[in-house]
Amino acid sequence: MTQKKIGLLLLLPALLMVLVLFLFPLGISMHAAFTDKQGVLTFEHFIKAQSLYSTDMMFTLFITLTASVLVCLCSLVLSGLMGLSESRFLVASLKWLYRWPLFIPFIVAAQCMRTFLAKNGLMNNSFVALGLYEPASSISFLDWRGIIITFVWKQTPFVTLMLAGAVASLDRSMIEAARNLGASRLRVMVEIIIPQVMPVLMVGLILSFVTMMSVLSVPMMVAGSQPTLLTVDMAFRINSYGDYPTANALGVISYCMTSLVAWFYLRQQMRDHAHQPM
Amino acid sequence: MSQSPVAAISVRGLRAGYGASSILHGVDLDVAAGEFIAILGSSGCGKTTLLRTIAGFHPLTDGSISLFGRDVAGLPPEKRDMAMVFQSYALWPHMTVAGNMGYGLKLRGWSASAIAAKIDSLLSLLGLEGLGERKVTQLSGGQRQRVALGRALAIDPKLLLLDEPLSNLDAKVRLSLRYELKTLQKTLGFAAIHVTHDREEAMTMADRIIIMDKGRIAQIGTPEDVYDHPVSPFIARFMGADNQLPLCFMQKDGVAHVRIEGLEDHVLRWHGRPYEGTKTGYINEEAISLVEPDTDTNQSIILKGHISSRAYPGGQYRYSIACGPYHFSATSDHLFAEGEPVELRLPLNRLHIFDTQTA
């Protein structure tokens, strides 16, 4: 047997897994989204999805994009502190602490947030006890803010993990060269470190965006009411009405949102590579 | 070397370390304005730690550092106004050559046109004309280190710190950059501290050499000083005096004689400085010559031996010569066969004599 055939044979199990477990169901759900009961091409499911859930589509984009921006800022601050701080105690405690949310499932995080962010939850009670405001003026964060807070809390460690690794792998003397010439640590972060770890940051944020797009438990448990995320709408269409076509149409819309983000990223990558023949 | 009343940098009683282990045990050092100092030492002697402590990248535990009379020991690196060139070049790959070189000026608030003019003059000074808009990743090692040098020189530093800047370059580029760096330093007149483990590099570039050993300064002096008058066996060996022989000084008929341990027939008249008892002599291989029999042996120790191995590194032959229990290395223009008997001439004025060290 030639080497090429052996190679293909070795590749086959992995290829089959992708075909059976990913491409096949994806094909079926795409097919169901675009056809009626007779199997004729139609956009009626999309029109229905649009008429029922257009607010939720915007809401989903708003929540995931806002959360991504906040995750970006938080992970930059954390990885910057861990990479540049001269306080060993601060660096050691941050390194020890920041990873914990990674090991907590979304549903547990959502449950914790319910008790933390409620009107008489731990956060408000603590602020009242500190005398920051009166019990009467405390408000519940269990709405869109709660979803964003949970997402940021849960996803920041993931992006930080990738980013801190990228910062740590930079040649230390690049940072020292900048400080030596007179750059403050903030300038070193903004002008020397961030441009070099940008590709890693973008990958982390896109993976994080896709994860947030697919979480069902957090919007269900933390916010509950309307508007909500598309995942909740999909579950509702299937569980309450057995309405797979509309759920599939919502699924395709979610694909489009994530593909759009991925396309922006890929286009940027192509441009950077075109400028840098290495 | 222009001496100024205030030292470019003055270090007193400097101590530093990593955690509980101490690396520098009290270093005193003065560098005059415009002076080129090389810090030489083997790995782990503390030379890089000393440079990094001066630059502010490593905390000191005791002592003082002052730059032109200004105490900088408590300042962060960005406030010290020194420029450093790194072994790994440490260029920023997301910037162009001009971006790298102009960064220090941008930090100092220079206008874009002033930066461009300064970079143009630096590019031509460093032989990098026309490369300003290149990505640094497209340059060769020698070009990259020139850019790194330009980046450091752009801010007109009074003190340039060089952390083994030439050791990543191939031999030919290293030699030419060595010369260029020295010329630039003379022309522009900045003081420089150059850390290296390359003896020849230190000897050819520096006005004064500092040899470090185990976190202390073992000797400071001009290249001639440290080479010709080493103050300890460590320095002698470090400067290449790898040939050792135990010498026993004695008086015979009221005249100074020396006996070489292990070579019982070698009792010679001693014409050098007077010594007593057992000592160890150290001598560089360049100082040893292979002589024809019956040459003038005045002011020299002559040893009989035979060639045990030969190599030709180019220019001259390098021989290993066995004399009784001892092996010496020496160079010669003449070709000798292996096993051929030869005589070695060890000039007394090139022999460094110290107390015999006990292990």
Length of chain B: 359
Whether B81 and A182 lie within 8 Å, measured CB to CB: yes
Residue pair B169/B177 in contact (Cβ under 8 Å)? The answer is yes
Residues of A in contact with B108 (CB under 8 A): 182
CA neighbor of B307 nearest in space, from B285, B323, B293, B295: B323
Whether the per-residue pLDDT at A278 is higher than 80: the answer is no
Q: What are the boundaries of each domain within chain B?
A: 9-232, 240-355
pLDDT digits (tens, 9 = 90+) for B251-310: 888 888 888 877 766 677 787 778 888 888 899 888 888 876 566 667 788 888 899 999
Whether A98 shows a pLDDT value over 90: the answer reads yes
Strands, sheet with B70-71, edge to edge from the N-terminal-most edge strand: B21-31, B9-18, B60-67, B70-71
B77·A180 Cβ contact <8 A: yes
Residue B294 Rama label (left phi>0; alpha psi -120 to 50; beta): left
CA distance A90 to A74: 16
Q: What residues of chain A lie within 8 A of the CB of B78, using their CB?
A: 179-184
Percent of chain B with pLDDT over 70: 95
Average pLDDT, chain A: 91
As a whole number, the mean pLDDT across chain B is: 89
**pLDDT score, position B1:** 43
Asked if A274 has any chain B CB less than 8 Å from its own CB, the reply is: no
What domains lie within chain A, and their CATH numbers?
60-275 (1.10.3720.10)
Over residues B318-344, the mean pLDDT reads 89
Across the A/B interface, how many CB contacts are shorter than 8 Å? 66
Q: What is the CATH number of domain B9-232?
A: 3.40.50.300
**CATH fold of the domain at B240-355:** OB fold (Dihydrolipoamide Acetyltransferase, E2P) (2.40.50)
CA distance B148 to chain A (A): 9
- pLDDT above 70 for B4: no
- Identify the contact set of chain B against chain A, taking CB-CB distances under 8 A: 55, 57, 76-84, 86-88, 90-94, 103-104, 107-108, 135, 137-138, 148, 151-152, 155
Mean pLDDT confidence for A153-172 = 95
pTM reported for the whole predicted model: 0.82
Q: Mean pLDDT over residues B326-335, rounded?
A: 89
Could you tell me if A258 lies within 8 Å of chain B, comparing CB atoms? no
Averaged over B25-53, what is the pLDDT?
92
A3-33 pLDDT, tens digit per residue, is 889 988 999 999 999 999 989 988 998 999 9
pLDDT of B118 reads: 95
By Cβ distance, the residue of B90, B104, B137 closest to A182 is B104
Q: Do A195 and B135 touch (CB under 8 A)?
A: no
Choose among A171, A180, A184: nearest Cβ to B83: A180
Give the pLDDT band (50/70/90) at residue B158: confident
